[in-house]
Amino acid sequence: MKKQVFKTVSLMTILLIVILQTNAQFRRGPRLISPQINEDNSVTFRLNAPDADNVAINGSWMPGYYGKQVDVAKGDSGIWSITVEGLAPNLYTYVFLVNGMRVLDPQNPQVMREGAGSDNYVIVPGKESEVYTVQDVPHGTLSSVWYPSPTLDKNRRMSVYTPPGYEEGDKEYPVFYLLHGAGGNEDSWPSLGRANCILDNLIADGIAKPMIVVITNGNSWSAAAPGEAPAGENAERLKGPGSGDRNGFENSLVNDVIPFIEKNYRVIADKDHRAIAGLSMGGMHTQTITNSNPGIFSYIGVMSAGLRNNPRFGGNNYDQEAHIKQLKALQESGVKLYWIGCGEEDTAKEINIALRKLYDDLGFKYVYRESPGGHTWANWRLYLSELAPLLFK
């Protein structure tokens, strides 16, 4: 009898869903499949836009990506579609442009957001994209954690990844501090960078050591990602990045974040079990932090960033002599890996060349990885998947 009621109530639930979903269906329009990954790994994108004059698509597979677009063809019943051939296995972001306006694919719940811009994404399956794909492997825990920052005089939010088994065991782990770029926040590496997914997969395959990953918010004027910070921060936000305390973030990472992590998590608290890496602005933060604090990190990664000796930046009071002195102290402190990654068409390419020239001149050892493409999350995901296996070994 009990079982029958149980079944009945479940049927009720299903029927209720049908009724209540009417609203949701209304919002989404007719049911289309988009994106559709075809057997040959081409991908078909479809959009229902009967009143549009023109529809295009902007996708991260396009060389240059930002601002690039390809026309989408109008078919029957106002359904526009395009099939993109020859996509290598990877994670691609895209958005429709309807009469020039950015429109998300209403059929695709997979969305990544950077700053105020959202894009859909699709993963073309294959060996190269496996590491970006959630697999049926043990998953770590991803937490939004608030911590006090006396340096910045506020409580701030970060993302912390603890590897599978952390909660159940009593083992101590190394810690990897992972920094985002301008326009990003503590959500960027987990969402756009798929950091927890990549770490889960690398750890499951035995390619990377189990580690804690600490993803900070590098905007010193900000407590947290948009919508997660206390009200009133908006006024500060409008001043723009870097408007806060000079070196506030860099100082707070050393003075606030590391002590908080080492007090509240089971970590191995020494140089050989600390790594730091960052992309773009985060690559500059990484340099500032490690140059000014030799002996804290044995593993250092700089992605799509470089040295400021580029004439585009105009006059400055850069002190090369002092910089060199810092680098020598850093080298003497015993860096096990200094990893530099940059895209072939990266907007940071030129200043990256200048950085490497200085290091070469000094005999400052580093590993260099250049990859096709530009200043993109496609490259930073790739770099994370290649750098994480080199840490703590």
Considering only CA atoms, which of 224, 228, 195, 229 is closest in space to residue 212? 195
Of the pair 292, 371, the CB lying nearest a copy of itself is at 292
Residue 286 or 298 having the CB closest to a copy of itself: 286
CA distance 253 to 198: 24
Q: Write out the H or E segment, with its range, that includes residue 186.
A: none
What are the DSSP E strand ranges found in 223-374?
274-279, 299-303, 337-343, 367-371
Contact 106, 144 (CB under 8 A): no
Contact 91, 121 (CB under 8 A): yes
Residue number, 244 or 390, with CB nearest to a copy of itself:
244
User: Which CB, 161 or 392, lies closer to a copy of itself?
Assistant: 161
- End-to-end CA distance of the chain: give it in Å, rounded: 60
Nearest one of 188, 202, 92, 215 to 139, comparing CA atoms: 202
Cis peptide bond N-terminal to 35, omega within 30: yes
Looking at the Cβ atoms of 113 and 271, the one nearer to a copy of itself is 113
Shortest Å, Cβ 33 to a copy of itself: 8
